């Protein structure tokens, strides 16, 4: 009897740890089951145009990701980028940054400005190149493709992630459809119920320019709404860093 009493604190501790681990495992399994059931992953993309953003309010509306404008060409930094990049980090919303491509800007300078503006963050979404060109640029196609390939390679090396190209159908079909198999594609398509790309799969879909969400600007400010091509489990598997990456090994 005395021996049992002496071991009582140890037995209690073991029981407490066992119960704690069971609760943690049950919570994890429950959360994973919830993730498996979420088959729509919504996000936004913004720039200084939207004004001040209340990221906590957006988080409450189940926005899972946001692409934030960082730079344009070789000499423009979005005035709201720094604040947005910092404040979104206090939420669960996955953040990413984009560069608006200007074909006449020097590629190396455009890249350097983006590097100087957007920190390397293993938890962030891949960097985005926003490519929106009209047919008047078609005679420069070879130079444009060369510049974009240099951007893709540069961003891949700097951020250790396969970049994303945002584009529309006209630009995609004219400049991008056959030369870029090492990127994710994010397509703007406001008209169809489900976008399709020749030769490639899309990863993100911008389906409206006129979304309205609480926490975006003052009064009624439209915002672009986006959808990931998969469920939340797919999204996390594709874009959450591994422990190896978190430790700095790529």
Alpha-carbon span 58 to 10, nearest angstrom: 47
pLDDT for 100 equals: 98
Mutual angle of helices 232-239 and 2-37, in 10-degree steps? 100
Confidence (pTM): 0.84
Q: Look at residue 185 and give its three-state secondary structure.
A: strand
pLDDT for 34 equals: 39
pLDDT for 14 equals: 66
- Give one word for 135, left, alpha or beta, with left for phi > 0 and alpha for psi -120 to 50: alpha
Alpha-carbon span 128 to 242, nearest angstrom: 21
- Pairing type for strands 164-168 and 128-130 reads parallel
Find residue 71's DSSP bridge partners.
Answer: 77, 99
Note every long-range contact of 206-210, with CB atoms under 8 Å and residues 24 or more positions apart, other chains counting.
206/45, 206/166
What pLDDT digit, counting tens, does each position of 192-240 carry? 889 999 999 999 999 999 999 999 988 788 999 999 999 999 999 999 9
Q: What is the percent of the chain with per-residue pLDDT over 90, rounded to a whole number? A: 80
Tokens 């939420």 sit on residue:
91
pLDDT for 219 equals: 79
pLDDT for 12 equals: 61
Tokens 């200007």 sit on residue:
102
- What the block records as the tokens of 59 is 């988080």
N-to-C CA span, the chain: 58
Ordered mean pLDDT values, 10 residues apiece, the chain (250 residues): 57 60 42 50 97 96 97 98 98 98 98 98 98 95 98 98 98 96 96 92 97 90 96 97 90
pLDDT for 104 equals: 96
- Pairing type for strands 128-130 and 76-77 reads unpaired
Whole-number mean pLDDT of the chain?
Answer: 89
pLDDT for 37 equals: 40
DSSP state of 87: H
């Amino acid at each position: 009897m005395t021996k049992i009493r002496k071991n009582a604190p140890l037995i209690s501790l073991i029981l407490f740890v066992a119960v704690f681990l069971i609760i943690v495992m049950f919570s994890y399994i429950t959360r994973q089951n919830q993730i498996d059931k979420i088959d729509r992953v919504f996000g936004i993309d913004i720039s200084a145009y939207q004004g001040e953003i209340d990221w906590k309010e957006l988080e409450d509306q189940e926005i899972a990701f946001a692409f934030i404008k960082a730079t344009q060409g070789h000499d423009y930094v979005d005035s709201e980028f720094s604040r947005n990049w910092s404040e979104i980090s206090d939420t669960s919303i996955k953040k990413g940054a984009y560069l608006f491509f200007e074909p006449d800007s020097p590629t190396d300078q455009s890249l350097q400005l983006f590097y100087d503006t957007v920190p390397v963050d293993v938890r962030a979404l891949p960097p985005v190149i926003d490519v929106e060109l009209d047919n008047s640029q078609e005679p420069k196609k070879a130079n444009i493709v060369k510049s974009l390939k240099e951007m893709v390679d540069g961003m891949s090396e700097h951020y250790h992630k396969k970049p994303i190209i945002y584009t529309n159908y006209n630009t995609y079909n004219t400049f991008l459809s056959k030369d870029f198999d090492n990127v994710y594609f994010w397509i703007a398509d406001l008209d169809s119920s489900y976008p399709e790309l020749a030769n490639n799969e899309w990863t993100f879909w911008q389906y409206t320019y006129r979304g309205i969400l609480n926490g975006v600007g003052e009064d009624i400010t439209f915002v672009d709404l986006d959808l990931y091509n998969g469920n939340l489990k797919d999204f996390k598997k594709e874009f959450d860093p591994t422990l190896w990456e978190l430790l700095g090994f790529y």
